[in-house]
Amino acid sequence: MAIAEFVMNMLKAALAANLLFLVYYFFLKDLSHFSVNRFVLNLIYPAALILAFFPIEGELQPIFSLPTTALDVAPTNMLQTENVNLEHTKPFSFLVLAYCTGLSIAFVMGIFRWIKVMMLVFLPHEKIGNMKLVLTDKTAPASFFGFVFLSPTLSQEQKEMIIAHEKWHIHLQHSLDIMLFSVYKVIFWFNPFNYFIERNLKLVHEFQVDKNVTERSAIPFERYAKCLLEMAHATHSDFQLLHQFFHHPIKTRIKMLVKKPSKPVESFKYFILLLAVFGLLFAFSINHSGQPEIRPVANAPISSGFGYRYHPVVKKSKLHNGVDFSAPKGTPVYATADGTVIEADTAKNYGIHIKIQNSDQYQTHFCHLNEMLVKVGDRVTKGQIIAKVGNTGLSMRPHLHYEVIENGKWVDPMQFMPNE
């Protein structure tokens, strides 16, 4: 997979993740099914990546098609140079450079965050069961895997309350969620929704812990709520990988503590999320643009690429506005995308050739053919055999000259071929 295609898929994945989060935020966040909500939030980025990188193959057939005369089709008997787009021949676009630069910066920042936490972990600690207690003023009360960080200035009652709270974070392995999300934050450094997704994930963690502390321990609700309010003045540290005891908004946490369990009928709201997933699956799996997606000749070596070259027939430098595939006479030629045949004729330069209108945006052109298997007006599908390789027109040996025309301009066909 080309790096440019990878970056585009990352942008698609970010868009999908944001849409899934919005479904969660508007329909699911107030439900008291905290374990399910935690699962949903943890699944947002993996689901988005799967949707973007592993779409189901399919094509969307157009209901209407524009008449050919309404389209600005490049003539087949001329080699024009003024309508050629050479931008796609650059190995790295600005978008790829920007993503790689941001990724590098985000990675370095992630390493610094990890080092800051490790500096806390290596402080002197007291082992209490499967938990390690670290007394320090370098952070607000918090936990990280099996470590609990407390200020030595806290009262004994506050320490007991916070330890009971952080033990549940450790038991439920919430730090794993935060560490995994820190990886997503690096590779999706450009997504502004990272802040909101992480904030809601940590808030669900707090809902889970608050509920377990008040329902499964001997700590009275009033004392626990009082401790939350007392800790509201605590300094909120910038250790993003930690679970801090006091997590804004305090009003929401207390509200969820006293909230009655959600009614079973409200669980149907999760089907809205499933509908969103299926909608994104459809959107990412269907090729709406008519963009070419496969090689026109299977396993054929490329004998000449896109760009300026010394023409072997006319003996001078000319723009080669396509790609040549060397193949024996009679080798099958495949349609590279769905479309309608708009030309199936013979020309002086191109010889026997076929041009397909794949969409308003794309046309594909197959030249120097030996035999045509379709005619003007035929509807073809991606992968369908439409012709046989030949040596007609301005050609010195059997090969296929293949062009892609995007918005009336020739572009490099190689950018549309898999694994090139």
Domains along the chain?
Answer: 3-57+91-283 (no CATH), 302-416 (2.70.70.10)
The rounded distance, in Å, linking the Cα atoms of 182 and 370 is 57
Letter for the amino acid at 300?
Answer: A
Per-residue pLDDT at 416: 86
> Cα dist. 226→89, 139, 153, 355 in Å?
65, 21, 18, 75
Contacts of 217 (CB under 8 A, 6+ apart): 164
CB atoms within 10 A of CB 318: 14
| Contact assessment for residue 346 and residue 352, using Cβ atoms and an 8 Å cutoff | yes
For residue 83 the two structure tokens come to: 């309508």
The rounded distance, in Å, linking the Cα atoms of 79 and 35 is 64
The DSSP bridge partners found for residue 367 are: 401
Residue 196 CB burial class (10 angstroms; 0-12, 13-18, ≥19): middle
Angle at 114 between CA 109 and CA 115, to 5 degrees: 95
pTM score > 0.85 for this model? no
> Cα dist. 199→21, 270, 367 in Å?
12, 20, 57
Segment holding 187, helix H or strand E: helix 174-187
Per-residue pLDDT at 52: 87
> Cis omega (within 30 of 0) on the bond before 249?
yes
* Phi, psi dihedral angles at 145 (to 5 degrees): 50, -120
Per-residue pLDDT at 284: 72
| Contact assessment for residue 334 and residue 386, using Cβ atoms and an 8 Å cutoff | yes
Longest dimension (CA), the chain: 94
Letter for the amino acid at 189?
Answer: W
Residue 80: CA atoms inside 13 Å, Cβ hemisphere, count? 14
Per-residue pLDDT at 56: 62
Per-residue pLDDT at 361: 87
The C-alpha R_g of the chain, in whole angstroms, comes to 30
Strands of 153-289, DSSP E: 243-244
> Cα dist. 164→86, 130, 142, 219, 286 in Å?
64, 13, 12, 9, 51
Closest to 243 in 3D by CA, of 152, 167, 175: 175
Closest to 141 in 3D by CA, of 116, 289, 284, 133: 133
| Contact assessment for residue 354 and residue 343, using Cβ atoms and an 8 Å cutoff | yes
> Cα dist. 186→8, 264, 338, 347, 375 in Å?
16, 38, 38, 54, 52
Per-residue pLDDT at 130: 87
Letter for the amino acid at 411?
Answer: V
Task: Print pLDDT tens along the chain (420 aa).
Answer: 457 678 888 999 999 999 999 999 999 999 999 999 999 999 999 999 998 888 665 444 433 333 333 333 334 433 333 344 444 444 446 778 899 999 999 999 999 999 999 999 999 999 988 899 999 988 888 899 999 999 898 889 889 888 999 999 999 999 999 999 999 999 999 999 999 999 999 999 999 999 999 888 888 888 888 887 777 665 556 677 776 765 556 778 878 888 888 888 888 889 888 888 888 877 776 655 678 988 999 989 999 888 887 766 667 777 889 999 999 999 999 999 999 999 999 998 899 999 999 988 899 999 999 999 999 999 998 889 999 999 999 888 999 999 999 988 999 999 888 765
Per-residue pLDDT at 238: 64
Per-residue pLDDT at 8: 82
| Contact assessment for residue 36 and residue 270, using Cβ atoms and an 8 Å cutoff | yes
Taken in order 290, 291, 294, 300, the sign of the CA dihedral is: positive
Residue 48 CB burial class (10 angstroms; 0-12, 13-18, ≥19): buried
DSSP 386-417: EEEEB--SS-SSSEEEEEEEETTEEE-GGGGS
